[in-house]
């Protein structure tokens, strides 16, 4: 089956001050992760999560440590797909294909759509509605 994880969900799991924290934790606890396996995010999301953490938490080391543990420590429940630089041109095409004044995607969002395409996934956990109509989104 397989499912992708977006930046906002991953970040909200670990920052108690995030407006989606409780929703992310409830969703995490309610999911049957073995059934959804393999659970994947990509290396561009890793970059975005840590950048978001620095700015939103004002460099809170507890948030950063918690995220490190989620990505590389004992709490890890997903794999990280390496998106090579050679794929960036295709990702930019995906960005252009879906971008509109009503659907503002980032390059990282487009990289997740690219990842879904190569993995043959159709589901993503994201709080961002701009994936609607492209991927099946939870929640």
Task: Look at the chain and report how many structural domains it folds into.
Answer: 1
139 located within any domain: no
37 located within any domain: yes
Q: Which two three-digit tokens encode residue 43?
A: 């290396």
Which CATH number characterizes residue 76's domain? Answer: 3.40.50.1010
**How confident is the chain (139 residues) per 10-residue block, as mean pLDDT?**
95 96 97 92 98 95 97 97 98 96 93 98 96 94
Encode 17-68 in three state secondary structure: CCCCHHHHHHHHHHCCHHHHCCEEEEHHHHHHHHHHHHHHCCCCHHHHHHHH
Q: Which domain holds residue 11?
A: 3-133
- Report the predicted TM-score, pTM, of the whole model to 2 decimal places: 0.95
């Amino acid at each position: 089956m397989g499912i992708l994880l977006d930046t906002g969900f991953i970040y909200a799991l670990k920052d108690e001050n995030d407006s989606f924290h409780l929703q992310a934790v409830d969703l995490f606890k309610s999911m049957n992760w073995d059934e959804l396996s393999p659970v994947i995010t990509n290396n561009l999301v890793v970059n975005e999560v840590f950048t978001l953490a620095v700015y939103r938490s004002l460099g809170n080391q507890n948030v950063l440590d918690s995220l490190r543990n989620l990505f590389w420590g004992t709490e890890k429940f997903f794999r990280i797909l390496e998106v090579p630089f050679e794929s960036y041109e295709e990702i930019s095409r995906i960005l252009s294909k879906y971008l509109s004044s009503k659907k503002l995607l980032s390059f990282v969002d487009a990289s997740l759509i690219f990842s879904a395409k190569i993995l043959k996934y159709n589901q993503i956990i994201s709080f961002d509605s701009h994936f609607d109509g492209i991927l099946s989104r939870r929640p």
